[in-house]
Amino acid sequence: MILVVGVLSQMAATVAITGPAFLIPYMHTDLGYTLTQAGTVAAAPSFGLILTLIAWGAFADRFGERLAMTLGIGLTALASGVAVAVVGSPVWMVIIIAASGAAAASVNSASGRVVMGWFPRHRRGLAMGIRQMSQPLGTSVAALAVPPIAASDGFVGYLWFVVIVTGVMAVICLGLVRDPPRAEAAPSPVGTSTDDSRPGPTSAGGEVEMPPSTSNPYRMDSFLWRIHAVSALLVIPQFAFSTYGLIWLIANQHISAGIAGGIVAASQIVGALGRMIVGGLSDRLGSRVGLMRVVAIAAMVLVAAIALISLTPMPIVASVVFILAATVSVADNGLAFASVAEAAGPQWSGKAMGMQNTGQFVMSAILGPGFGALVTVFGYPLSFALVAIAPLLSLGIIPKRDIDRIT
């Protein structure tokens, strides 16, 4: 039940965050916004999200997941309702929609935290893989639902749609979410410590005493910093494909817009399933970081293949390799979030997952214009070849073994 609510709440938040991007044509033609104004409104939820991810994680650590999820998704509904009154003002729309995204950020950290808290280690990988499916699924819901709603009822119709969806989820979170038991101390089980960590002080008997879970895990060892860095590097091919994949298929491979859109949609669905499969596999293998290394190698190979395919149109080959590359590029997400939560421990997992999300969103914000500039100057083959360097660099940063500080 907790997993289902976590997935649905993240999907609802994703609809609120990604929905405005599908409304740019309507803002431009129906509301008279310039393309710059419309694009700024579309980006506003992500900007608000970046500002509050760590704060919401800290809130969940201190006051619990149930309150964080209920309050955050409820405030998202409230902000969307307020936005109905300011649709005619681009400036106020940016402010209110950014506030909506800032509130929705609560679910990113808290829903992951509550899932990690209720599942044992041997099931967390699969659980987090399923939870991570919620973002591409939420984006798909927004892509399917928002344009027809806007076509019949405009931006106001979309806003009321978000109010209903997030309002209902706030009630569900209040009624069904239960905070997992809190532990005062979380020693790492035998065999899960890593040579990247420094041992704690020794007891009188000479045995290593693990620090309490309230200690700052970022000061204990380099594990969390390394996972954050690895995720920031591996998110580069992910956002290169999600942002520029459609135009690459059309402009470089000469695939029709309709078929290219279907290929991108298929890659989203397969990618969502891939997160679940890889998460379950990490449970069976008993290692998150080991599988993360395999994903990084596969990403490097497939992005390099995209670079080679970019030299000449090969539509059928390009379609297959694109779906594979896009799937692999998101396969590490659940692994990384599970690793971060486990290494952070029960008192720090919210903040750590907030930090994890913040780094990824900041990198994606940089990548948007950055990759576009690369393509403009160097073309697709060399640009994707440069992107392939990111997973290659990550191989030297991935820790050798997992750390688990969750009891």
Please state, rounded to an integer, the average pLDDT across all residues of the chain: 83
Mean pLDDT on 55-81: 90
pLDDT (tens digit per residue) in 148-162:
888 888 888 999 999
Q: Over the stretch 318-352, which tens digit does the pLDDT of each residue have?
A: 999 999 998 898 888 878 888 888 888 878 877 88
Instruction: Find out whether 15 and 162 touch, Cβ atoms under 8 Å.
Output: yes
* Residue scoring higher pLDDT (301 or 126): 301
Q: Residue 55 has which token pair?
A: 């704060």
Residues constituting the chain: 407
Indicate the SS3 state at residue 43.
Answer: helix
* Cβ neighbours around 270 below 10 Å, total: 15
Residue 289 identity (one-letter amino acid): V
What is d(CA 292, CA 290) in angstroms, rounded to the nearest whole number? Answer: 5
What tokens does 29 get? 């033609």
pLDDT value at position 200?
Answer: 40
The amino acid that residue 223 corresponds to is F
Please compute the mean of the pLDDT values over residues 184-206 and round it to a whole number.
Answer: 40
Contact of 9 with 169, CB cutoff 8 Å: yes
pLDDT in tens, 249-272: 988 899 887 888 788 878 878 888
Write the pLDDT tens digit of every residue in 1-35: 888 998 999 999 989 988 887 787 777 777 788 76
Instruction: Give, in order, the Cα–Cα distances in Å from 334 to each of 90, 276, 388.
Output: 36, 8, 21
Tell how far CA 166 is from the center of its chain.
19
DSSP H helix total and E strand total for the chain: 16, 0
Query: Is the pTM above the cut of 0.75?
Result: no
Q: What are phi and psi of 221, to 5 degrees?
A: -165, 180
Gap between the Cα atoms of 399 and 154, Å rounded: 49
* CA pair distance 342, 277, nearest whole angstrom: 19
pLDDT of residue 403: 85
Nearest-CA neighbor of 384 among 299, 327, 298, 316?
Answer: 299
CATH 1.20.1250.20-classified regions of the chain: 2-176, 217-394
Tell which residue, 242, 240, 246, 243, has the closest CA to residue 260. Answer: 246
- pLDDT value at 364 more than 60: yes
From start to end of 213-294, where are the E strands?
none
Which band of pLDDT confidence, cut at 50, 70 and 90, is reported for residue 356?
confident
Torsion region of 20: left, alpha or beta (phi above 0 gives left; psi -120 to 50 gives alpha): alpha
The C-alpha atoms of residue 371 and residue 366 are separated, in whole angstroms, by 8
Residue pLDDT, tens place only, 96-114: 999 999 999 888 878 877 8
Q: Is residue 184 predicted with pLDDT exceeding 70?
A: no
Is residue 194 pLDDT above 70, yes or no? no
Kindly give the interhelix angle for 289-309 and 315-330, rounded to the nearest 10 degrees. Answer: 160
**Candidate CATH numbers 3.30.420.40, 1.10.10.10, 3.40.50.1220, 1.20.1250.20; the one for domain 2-176:** 1.20.1250.20
Question: What tokens were used for 231?
Answer: 């995720």
Q: What is the CATH number of domain 217-394?
A: 1.20.1250.20
Percentage of the chain modeled with pLDDT above 70: 91
Is the pLDDT at 195 greater than 50? The verdict is no
The pLDDT value recorded for residue 182 is 66
CA-to-CA distance for 364 and 17, rounded, in angstroms?
14
